[in-house]
Chains A and B, each alone.
Chain A
Amino acid sequence: MAAVVAAVGGLAWNFRPTEEKRIRKAIGGLAADATFSGREGNFAKIAKIESLAGRFTEDADIRIDQVVPIDAGLHGRESIRQVLGAGMPLLGSIKVQVHDLRVEMLDELTAKAVLTASAQAGGQRDIAAQEFELRMVKQRGRWLVGRVEAILGYRRPVIQ
């Protein structure tokens, strides 16, 4: 009897919801929302874009100028929504996946996540992969992305 109780207790402890698991789930949801099959209707696309934008804080800061030629980056949920709204319909389909996710709790309400994201556009053989550092912020009980920074783990030559 004691062994059964210990086993059940061990399982419950193992599967208990932790903040790290909630963050992993939030980032998994981000990748799922960024994935488009190409068969969605316009309303479904808009709903996904809304859901995706809603995963960022109001003052979210996206810094990917190291890898994409966007000089100023993106600031705020509204500008993210606009860019997604303008860009997503142009893509027929895209599959986004998250790999090697590492989460580090900074305090009860903030965490750092480092991951590699890969994206494959429909009909393309090439897979784009990029390493990112995310600052996750807990707001109203929900983990949101407060900052995204592309990490360039190597030195690129200057193209002339």
Chain B
Amino acid sequence: MTEPTIDEGPSRRAPAWWQIILVGRNPRFTGVRVGVTVLLAWLVFGEILRPIRVAGPSMEPTYRFGQVNFINRWSFKFRPPSRGDVVGVRMAGESVIYLKRIVALPGERIRFRRGKIHINDEPLDEPYLRNPAPWNEAEMQLGPDEFFIVGDNRTMSARDHTHGAFRRSDLIGRVLF
């Protein structure tokens, strides 16, 4: 009479140390993790968030020179641009982006009178402003697809400060922080 034996199958060898360093103990799981990480990074930083570094004084004191931030390119998918939003505005491409604040919406009339913004003849409350210079500008009627954007730093001359009516398609998204 023979004793029963238990078949343990092929013996499992422990992976070599270099294999653990390169692909982990479970290469298939490591591959899936790397794939998911790459996909997430591409989705977040390639499609949704656009990293920016503030390079200019026009949004001071809200955003200072050298600060790093992100533009959320999907932000307008869920809520249209609105007054008070700080948004990224592009030029020819997306390498140079203006960071400005939306102060007037499509169809509105806007003018600067002694440094104060008037929308449809009503003064706009802007608590983020510090010591604005007395800008005076002619009234501008915005078109159905135009947003008026301007920086928070109005201590500088109006001529040196890029501001005006931009098309909706030029607005990339809201600033994240």
Residues of A within 8 A of B (CB): 99-100, 102, 114-116, 118, 125-127, 129-131, 151, 153-160
The answer on a CB contact under 8 Å between A129 and B138 is: no
Give the CA-CA distance A156 to B58 in the complex, in Å. 16
A-B complex: 8 closest residue pairs judged by Cβ atoms: A100-B93, A99-B95, A158-B138, A155-B165, A157-B137, A116-B92, A156-B164, A160-B136
The answer on a CB contact under 8 Å between B146 and A155 is: yes
The answer on a CB contact under 8 Å between A116 and B96 is: yes
The answer on a CB contact under 8 Å between A125 and B91 is: no
Residue of A nearest to B158 (CB): A159
What are 27 pairs between A and B in contact, CB < 8 Å?
A99-B96, A114-B92, A115-B92, A116-B95, A125-B55, A125-B57, A125-B65, A127-B55, A129-B91, A129-B96, A129-B98, A153-B91, A153-B166, A154-B165, A154-B166, A154-B170, A155-B140, A156-B163, A157-B112, A157-B137, A157-B140, A157-B165, A159-B135, A159-B137, A160-B136, A160-B137, A160-B138
Given contacts A159-B137, A160-B136, 4 further A-B contacts (CB under 8 A): A99-B95, A127-B55, A129-B91, A155-B164
Provide the main secondary structure of the chain A interface. strand
Query: In the complex, what residues of A have CB within 8 A of residue B55's CB?
Result: 125, 127
Give the CA-CA distance A130 to B96 in the complex, in Å. 9
Does B56 reach chain A (CB closer than 8 Å)? yes
Query: In the complex, what residues of A have CB within 8 A of residue B85's CB?
Result: none
Residue of A nearest to B136 (CB): A160
